[in-house]
A and B are shown apart, each in its own frame.
Chain A
Amino acid sequence: MTESVETAALTPAPGRAVPEKSGQTGTVVRSTVLRRLFKNPLGIIAIVILLAMAVMAVFADALAPFDENFANISKTLAAPDGVNILGTDSSGRDVWSRLLFGAQLTLASALLCAAVAIAIGLPAGLIAGYYAGKFEAVSNWVVSILMSLPGLIVLLTIRAAFGPSVWIAMIAFGVLISPSYFRLTRSAVQSVRNELYVDAARVSGLSDLRIITRHIFSVVRAPIIIQTAAIAGVAIAIQSGLEFLGLGDPAKATWGVMLSEGFKNVYLTPSLLFWPAFAMALTIGALVLLGNAIRDALEDGEKIKHRRKKIRTAEDAATASAAKAARKTVATVEAGTEHHLVKVTNLGVGYPQADGSVKKVVDDVSFHVDRGEILGIVGESGSGKSQTAFSILGLLPDTARIVAGAIQFDGNYTVAPGEDKVSQDRLSKLRGKRISYIPQEPMSNLDPAFTIGYQLVTPMMRVLGISKAEATTRGMKLLADVGIVNPERTFKAYPHEVSGGMAQRVLIAGAISCEPDLIIADEPTTALDVTVQADVLDLIRDLQRRLGVGVILVTHNFGVVADLCDRVVVMQNGRLVEEGPVREILRNPKKEYTQTLLASMLEGKEPMTMLVPAPSSVTARSTAKENVL
């Protein structure tokens, strides 16, 4: 469910019980990529280094005291002094000046390489990704050929053919490396090509060029920048490597040529080797760090500090300490409640936020389920119904905290009062054996890599400790039990070979395979067609009667509730609105919210009339502003 997104609100709705002042309200952050980049110390260091390098390169003519090839024969391999601040090389050329001019040529050629690679890879990737078809097929062939070429040998060949020009070498390398841009762009475009907003733009009659520049290019912009940082580093390394081997143009000062020169005199003046190597290491390192920093900035990676105890508000702390006192005396449940299969008492679930507050998604929820009873938890998205179910299952995300209340299962606490996490020790003994789960999306809950039989048999072998043969027989029987006509074929099938309704039957078979006492079904029929839904509901009802299990059915559909449930809990914004027998809730709801929900049902309404009571336009407008939507 997209609960967190759904409740994203401009302003908190009046009368909202949950104190949600933080988190979802102010989540909107714009143009923060740059800001976040500047907050990252490594990012700043990288930017400063690169800017310094760029300034040195651009103003090399002004900054350098000597020409790059000005040789003072009388002063070779000199140590640093006032005139030659970094000393001179074997021909008496000033190292500092050559370093500056080297920066100019090295950086410019690296940029040329990246520019060539982008100029080829980006448009080709955009076109291949957007139009697919023949162009994509042909360009994939070209890319494969380019990638299979041995890069260094090609560069050596090109040098042999065209002479020792750093520019030509870098253009060639740019062509060789363009497939990386092509692939990056193509896959990014493919991921958005079929997005509905692109379809909407097509319906609006936008030309392909406008669609690509406006809607698609923005997706590839960031990865291209990151990729360029990496590619520029690689280009510097490759170019310097070639020149180090002596394949560069000795008349031009680049870091690679200086490196080669320094290596020849490594025993006489090691510093000749050091300075170009230092400049290269600094630049390449800065480029890599910059790429990482941009990626981090884009990934929205704001970390939440785990201040487990301090995050509580005063009120919560009071209940917690009281609860702690209670735990010291008794770890057993309240007398007289042991007979309930599940009892949830004043449960609160919250997520610690970056600013230290806790965003509550479930607040003060209490209900119980008895054996052989079906309890429906009804609510809209963001009502906390799934979070409640997950806290019984112990499947809350790691960041979630139980901020109040307790959960007991069959007379024992799974969450004792005062505990802030679900005890995985206690729950792992129950989950799969006594508590099982039917999920919402049947397809995404079956592993596509394994057969259905394997996924059914393995848990049984593990949980029940039976042999594979026995588990297989049992699995077959279960599949027959859940109304699968040809169990053997389904048993051997992979998940993609069965329909959604069939997959849900398989998951239900899995849920009852270890004879649980409680089944938690989270919107078990929402993803299914109506006719299939009716069949699956029939199945759940039959099984529940036959096995006498307790069921918690989380749903948003009152029809499903009416079909299956004995009792109903209505939730809104994390709070329990109303609880009662199904007939009472559906026929005479006491609370306004339940009445509104039931009034929104289309069944039995006069067609073509307004559903929300008049004056509809005003209501719609004001409610939109209140963000009840």
Chain B
Amino acid sequence: MTERAALDAAESAPTQRGLLRVEDLVVDYAGKGFRAKKFRALTDINISIGQGETLGLVGESGSGKTTLGRAVLGLAPVSGGRITFEGQDISHATRRQRRVLSRDMQVVFQDPYTSLNPALEIGDILAEPLGVQGMEATAAKKRVKELLDQVGLPSDAIHRLPREFSGGQRQRVAIARALALSPKLIVCDEPVSALDLSTQARVLDLFLQIQKDTGVSYLFVSHDLDVVRHISHRVAVMYRGEIVEQGPAEVVTRDPEHPYTQRLLLASPVPDPDRQEKRRADRHRLLEMQRQQNEQAGVPA
């Protein structure tokens, strides 16, 4: 952990960061086959999210960022450490506890094509979490209408099937489902990665607008540093199952300390040929410098 991150952790009062805390989390996946070696997906993860705050989680594929989101939701096995939500330990919550928890914690997945059951109408999909909490059918229907309005979908969408909608619209449905119970935290697992550029912009706007209106917190997982910078208050960078850097979004995404974050920042191309040429040169210089440092430190490339 870097010095600054430690400082950052110290200055944050526990009340502010109290909504979700993840301490020394370890996730192991069982290997395939008899007596197979376990695969360690996450190692000693420490994060926290306060009310109305967005923590951006950035990293490349296989870095464990999605696993972290799933562990918080109870979809990945917790082998060590603690996850607390509003002070309550939920590392090994039962299905019954999860049902209570689902009022406060929801999810938006990456792929808007497989995250909605193709056989159910939009209205049924949105009413599902309401029904689980025991809401009456008429009240649920009213709430579904509100939700559709909130995410900018026409109210006649209720009786349509997911395949009648484009990717961006489906993602709006998924967001509406997450919002149905007015949760305190939404885990967003690459929610805009599958979307077109202009659609991505609108959906990001929607996320920001919802946060402004409802004060919800986000754990926002993405591989795109630009997306994370845009939407997050704080950013954590993951690399090979560990968090290598964590801090205020502005600092981490503009002036990172960790070599990996530096590489990540310079790898993302900018939409201007001349500035991109400069960035390219910067990146080559950085790679060369890091290579020399590694050589001096005796680390094999």
Q: Does the CB pair A533–B267 fall under 8 Å?
A: yes
Q: A199-B109, A203-B73 are in contact. Are A582 and B273 (CB under 8 A)?
A: yes
Q: Is A616 an interface residue (CB 8 A)?
A: yes
- A621: interface (CB < 8 Å): yes
Contact A200/B267 with A5-B113, A380-B197, A600-B198 known, Cβ cut-off 8 Å: no
Complex-state Cα separation, A199 to B70, whole angstroms: 9
A563 in the interface (beta carbon within 8 A): yes
Within 8 Å of chain B (Cβ to Cβ): is A30?
A: yes
What CA separation (Å) do A210 and B73 show in the bound complex?
19
By beta carbon, the residue of chain B nearest A485 is B301
Given contacts A202-B75, A206-B132, contact A616 B209 (CB under 8 A): yes
Contacts of A623 in B (CB 8 A): 152, 202
Assess A530 versus B271: contact at CB under 8 Å? Given A7-B166, A197-B114.
Answer: no
Nearest Cβ on chain B to A594's Cβ, whole angstroms: 11
Known: A563-B280, A610-B205. A603 touches B273 (CB 8 A): no
Chain A residue with minimal CB distance to B198?
A600
Within 564-610 of A, Cβ neighbours of B (below 8 Å) are at: 582-583, 586-587, 596-605, 607-610
- Chain B interface size range: 35 or more
- Cβ contact within 8 Å between A205 and B99: yes
Interface of B, secondary structure class, is helix
Stretch binding the partner chain, chosen from A245-253, A275-283, A554-562 = A554-562
Give residues of chain B (122-172) contacting chain A, Cβ–Cβ below 8 Å.
Answer: 128-129, 132-133, 152-154, 160-161, 163-169, 172
Judging by beta carbons under 8 Å apart, are A2 and B113 in contact? yes
CB atoms of A203 and B197 under 8 A apart: no
Interface residue ranges of A479-503 to B (CB < 8 Å): 500
Q: How many A-B residue pairs have CB under 8 A?
A: 220
In angstroms, Cα B131 to Cα A210, docked, is: 11
CB-nearest residue of chain A to B205: A610
Contact of B204 with A611 in the complex, beta carbons under 8 Å: yes
Give min CB distance, B156 to chain A, whole Å: 9
- Per the bound structure, the CA–CA distance linking A134 and B167 in Å amounts to 38
Complex partner residue of B271 from A199, A207, A601, CB under 8 angstroms: A601
A27 vs B163: C-alpha distance when bound (angstroms): 9
Contact status B154-A629, CB under 8 Å: no
Bound together, the chains give a CA A582 to CA B271 distance in angstroms of: 10
A620-B73 CB under 8 A given contacts A530-B268, A612-B201, A625-B154: no
Contact A200 to B107, CB < 8 A, known contacts A563-B276, A624-B154: yes
A607 and B230: CB pair below 8 A?
Answer: yes
Inter-chain contact A6/B167, CB cutoff 8 Å: yes
Contact A204 B102 (CB under 8 A): yes
B214 CB–A CB distance under 8 Å: no
Minimum distance in angstroms from A432 CB to a CB of chain B: 30
B116 within 8 A of A: yes
Name the one of B165, B202, B230 contacting A620, with C-beta atoms under 8 angstroms: B202
Q: Complex Cα distance A598/B198, Å?
A: 9
Q: Does A62 contact B (CB under 8 A)?
A: no
CB atoms of B269 and A203 under 8 A apart: no
8 Å CB contact of B208 from A203, A582, A602, A610: A610
Contact A562 B98, CB 8 Å, known A202-B75, A602-B226, A611-B201: no
B184 to chain A, nearest CB (A): 14
Are B270 and A603 in touch, CB under 8 angstroms?
yes
Bound Cα distance from A609 to B207, whole angstroms: 11
Query: Inside 8 A of A205's CB, which chain B residues have their CB?
Result: 95, 98-102, 129, 132-133
Within the complex, what minimum Cβ distance (angstroms) separates A421 from chain B?
30
Residue contact B263 to A531, C-beta cutoff 8 Å: yes
Q: Which B residue's beta carbon lies closest to that of A617?
A: B209
Q: Is the CB of B269 within 8 A of A207?
A: no
Verify if B200 is at the interface (C-beta below 8 Å from A).
yes
> Are B129 and A530 in contact (CB-based, < 8 A)?
no
C-alpha gap A627/B156 in the complex (Å): 14
B27 within 8 A of A: no
A199-B107 contact in complex given A562-B270, A563-B276, C-beta closer than 8 Å: yes
Q: Does B196 contact A (CB under 8 A)?
A: yes
The answer on a CB contact under 8 Å between B230 and A624 is no
- Assess whether B230 is in contact with A600, with CB atoms less than 8 Å apart: no
Residues on A with C-beta less than 8 A from B169 are 624, 627, 629
Interface size class of A (residues with CB under 8 A): 35 or more
- B206 interfacial by beta-carbon distance below 8 Å: yes
B106 close to A203 (CB less than 8 A): yes
Query: A562's contact among B165, B197, B267, B276, by CB below 8 Å, is which?
Result: B276
Residues of B within 8 A of A218 (CB): 117, 119
Q: Pick from B117, B154, B161, B274: contact of A197, CB below 8 A.
A: B117
A168 vs chain B, min Cβ distance (A): 39
Closest Cβ neighbor of B229 among chain A residues: A607
Chain A stretch 485-536: residues in CB contact (< 8 A) with chain B? 500, 529-534
Known: A530-B224, A600-B200. A203 touches B271 (CB 8 A): no
CA distance A381 to B168 in the complex (A): 11
B271 and A605 form a contact (CB under 8 A): no
Task: Knowing A206-B132, A557-B269, A623-B202, say if A602 contacts B105 (CB, 8 Å).
Answer: no
Shortest distance from the beta carbon of A315 to any chain B beta carbon, whole Å: 29
Partner of B128, one of A6, A204, A610, A629: A204
Give complex CA distance A603, B99 in Å: 40
* A197→B115 contact, CB < 8 A: yes
Which residues of chain A are within 8 angstroms of B280 by Cβ–Cβ distance?
Answer: 534, 538, 563
Residue of B nearest to A530 (CB): B267
Are A28 and B164 in touch, CB under 8 angstroms?
yes
Interface contact B152-A531, CB-CB below 8 Å: no
* Chain B nearest CB, measured from A568 CB (Å): 10
B267 and A196: CB pair below 8 A?
Answer: no
Tell yes or no: B61 within 8 A of A by CB: yes
Instruction: Answer yes or no: A78 CB below 8 A from chain B CBs.
Output: no
The docked-state distance in angstroms from the alpha carbon of A561 to that of B273 is 8
Give the residues in chain A near B168, CB-CB below 8 Å: 629
Is A201 an interface residue, CB under 8 A from the partner? Answer: yes
CA distance A46 to B300 in the complex (A): 71
Whether A8 lies near B101 (C-beta < 8 A) is no
Contacts of A500 in B (CB 8 A): 61
Flag whether B90 is at the interface (Cβ < 8 A). no
B249 part of interface (Cβ distance < 8 Å):
yes
Interface residue? B79 (CB, 8 A): no
Q: Is there contact, CB below 8 Å, between A381 and B196?
A: yes
Which chain A residues in 178-212 approach chain B with CB under 8 Å?
A: 195-197, 199-208, 210
| Chain B, residue nearest A381 (CB) | B196
Question: In the assembled complex, which residues on chain B have CB atoms less than 8 Å from the CB atom of A561?
Answer: 271
Give me 17 A-to-B residue pairs in the complex whose CB atoms sit less than 8 angstroms apart, sorted by A's number.
Answer: A10-B154, A196-B114, A197-B115, A202-B75, A204-B99, A206-B132, A210-B132, A380-B198, A380-B199, A530-B224, A533-B267, A559-B276, A583-B273, A587-B272, A624-B169, A629-B166, A629-B199
Known: A5-B113, A562-B275. 17 other contacts (CB 8 A): A8-B165, A28-B161, A28-B163, A196-B109, A199-B70, A204-B106, A380-B196, A557-B269, A562-B273, A601-B226, A607-B231, A607-B249, A610-B208, A611-B201, A611-B202, A621-B152, A624-B154
A residues bordering B, Cβ < 8 Å? Answer: 2, 5-10, 27-28, 30, 195-197, 199-208, 210, 214-215, 218, 380-381, 500, 529-534, 537-538, 556-563, 582-583, 586-587, 596-605, 607-612, 616-617, 620-621, 623-625, 627-629
| Pairs A-B, 8 closest by C-beta atoms | A205-B99, A559-B269, A629-B168, A558-B271, A196-B115, A529-B60, A602-B226, A534-B267
